[in-house]
Each structure stands twice: as C-alpha cells, then as structure tokens.
Structure 1
Amino acid sequence: MLSADETYASLAGAWRLMLGKADGLRLLDLSADGFWNSFFAIVVAAPALIVGWVGIANEIGDPNAFAGRFSMLLRLATVDIGSWVLPLVGLALVAPRLGLGGRFVHYVVASNWASAIIAWLMLPSALIRLFLPSDEVSGLVSLLLFALSMVLTWRMTNAVFGRGAAVGTAVFAGMFVASLAVLFGLQALLGITIPTSIES
C-alpha cells in the first residue's frame, strides 16, 4: 500500500497533467513498481464509485430484496473496474505498433491517478441521485461534470504524450471508444439494463 505522501504526490502530478502541465510527470513514479502501484488509484476512487453504484443499484435493483440490490452493486462494480482496466490492456497491445510504446507507462500511471480524481469529481451527481432523486437535476449535473472530465482527460493525454494535439486527440478518442465498448459489452454480458434517465 502506498503512503499518504506518495498518494498525494501522484494525485498532484495527475492533476497538473489534467491542467495541461507536462511537469506533472515529475511527481509520478514511472518505475515498474510505480506502474503497478498506480492501480492503487482504484482503491482511492472506491468510496466515490461506491456511492454511484449504490444509487444506481437502488434504482434498477429489486427494491424489496437486499440480495438483489447487492448483486446489482457487484455487477456495476465489475463493469466500472473492467471499463477502467481493460482499455489499458488493449493499449498495451497496440501502443508499440503505433509508436507510442515509449510513453505507455507514463500514460497508464497518469491515467490511473487521473481516473481517481475524476471519480471524486463525479461524486456530486452521484450524491444527488442517491439523496435527492431528480432526473432533471441529476442529469444536468452529470452532463456538466462529464464534459469537464472529458476536457481534463484530453489535456492529460496531450500532456503525457507531448507529440501535439493530433496524437493526443487520437489516443484520447481511441481510449474513449474502447471504454464505451467495454462498458456496454460488460453491461450486456452481466444482464444490466440502465434506463437512459439514469445513464445521463
């Protein structure tokens, strides 16, 4: 487990990258240990993610059966973690062929910590859904925060690769499409049907 100082430095580095500042890489541990330790970001993000899973499970799970809601929560967790990790596995396979292998570790480490920040950034919309059910308010807040997260992720990607907006945008778009493919694929595989009003 990472120390509090190491976790803070990693989050600070990712945040600087999300602001488009390439010097954020200096705060990240880009060693082999740092690569694997960056997946600790999933643990950092877990509390915020759980709030979202609980809110959705309460809406689409069996309201009269705790076991049904808990099963739905576990399936939602599987979908989110899969959508986080599997696109990175795909990138590992294609990055060398695309000439991006030299920055693969940098991207994974930065992306993992940035994803933890985004999970907490999205927390307000999850709390609204959980405590103040309102399709209009929750949907609007979710949309605004999602748009902000996309901008920050795009800037992080550009800063990490440092090869111009075209390359950064191509990687960003590819990873976004891969994440959506995994998301919808796992939802279908696990029998999760989320109404449009909840997904928004």
Structure 2
Amino acid sequence: MPSAREVMTALYGTYRLARLDAAGMDFFDATPAGFWRSFFAAVLIAPFYLLLLTIRFSGLPETAPFFSFIAIESIAYVIVWVAFPLLMASLAKILDRDSHYIRFIVAYNWAAVLQNGLYLPIAIMATSGLLAAGTANALGLMALSLIVFYTWFITRTALEISAGIAAGIVGLDFLLSILINTVATGLL
C-alpha cells in the first residue's frame, strides 16, 4: 500500500500531465514496487464507483438481485484494471518499449483517479436524474474527449512513441473496456 505522500505525489504528477507537462512523469515511482502500489488507485476510485452502481441499480427497470449486480460489476471493475496492463505487457515488447512499460502503467493507473474525478460526478448526476439528458450527454462527451486526449498524451509521453501508435493504443484500451463492460452488462 502506498504512503499518503506517494499518493499525493503521484496525483500531483497526474495534474502536471493534465497540463500537458511531460515532466509530470518525474512524480511517479516507476519501480516494480511502485508499479504494484499504483493499483491502489483502483481502491481510491472504488467508493465513488460503488455509489454510481447503487444509483444505477435503483434505476434498473428489471430488478436483478442486488448482490448479483454488485458482484458482476465488481468483477468487471477488477478485470478492467488488470486486462489492459496485461495486454500492454505484450504490446510493449512488440513495440520495443518494454523498458518503458512500468512507468507507463504507473502513470496510467494514477491518471485514472483524475479521469474518474472528472467523469464519475457527471455519471452520478446523470444517473440520479440531477442532470437533464441533453446536458448529461454533452458533459459526458466533453469529459470523454478530454480523457481520451489525456490518456493519449500519457501514452505518447510515457512510452516515447509516435502520436499514431499512441492513438492506436488508446483506441485498443477503449475497445477493451467496452468489451468487458458489454459482457458484464449481458450477464445482468
């Protein structure tokens, strides 16, 4: 488990990267131990994600058992956190960027806190009916666009790859997340 100092330092690095400052990479612990601790970001996000799931469940037209809903969505949450780093381990080797793999995943994981800090409030307000559908869709699309660009910048910076290859990796990440969430939704 990372120290509070490491969490704050990593989050500051994500802020710097969001300002398109490549020096933000210097604020991450890009060691094997730092790699594993970066998955703590999933723990930081989980309570807010659980709140979103609870609100989503209350709005479902067909009531599946709450435990089944939470179990399936929780498993999907863990798979999303693990699948892309596993895929990237192979892809980094193919791209001859395996020496950059750890620093990329560390930055990628911690950046998810900032990304979810932007997206989850919109999703929670939209799901709970606090935002009109049109407003929620517009805000969601703007947030998604920012997140995709931010992830592209991190990918390009951390892996030191071309803009096109970075875009391909971000697209692959996006498709993988959609696939996992579609399978989970189909199980409900």
TM-score of the alignment, normalized to the shorter chain, above 0.5: yes
Q: Residue in 1 aligned with 2:153?
A: 155
Normalised by the size of structure 2, how large is the TM-score?
A: 0.87
Normalised by the size of structure 1, how large is the TM-score?
A: 0.82
- Contact kept in structure 2, 1:19 and 1:156, CA below 8 Å: no
Q: Residue in 1 aligned with 2:138?
A: 140
Identity %: 25
SS in 1 for 2:20: coil
Which of 91, 94, 97 is the matching residue for 2:88? 91
Deviation at 1:33, TM superposition (A): 0.5
Deviates more, 1:104-113 or 1:123-132: 123-132
> Which letter does structure 2 place at the counterpart of 1:124?
P
1:12 aligns with 2:9: no
Which of 119, 122, 128 is the matching residue for 2:119? 122
Count of residue pairs brought into register by the alignment: 187
Q: Distance in 2 between matches of 1:37 and 1:145?
A: 27
Deviation at 1:102, TM superposition (A): 1.5
Q: Distance in 2 between matches of 1:48 and 1:38?
A: 18
Deviation at 1:133, TM superposition (A): 6.5
Q: Residue in 2 aligned with 1:26?
A: 26
> Which letter does structure 1 place at the counterpart of 2:105?
V
Q: Distance in 2 between matches of 1:123 and 1:185?
A: 21
Task: For structure 1, list consecutive stretches of 5 or more residues without a partner in the other structure.
Answer: 193-200
Q: Residue in 1 aligned with 2:185?
A: 187
Task: For structure 2, list consecutive stretches of 5 or more residues without a partner in the other structure.
Answer: none
Q: Residue in 2 aligned with 1:73?
A: 70
Q: Distance in 2 between matches of 1:77 and 1:139?
A: 25
- Contact kept in structure 1, 2:11 and 2:111, CA below 8 Å: yes
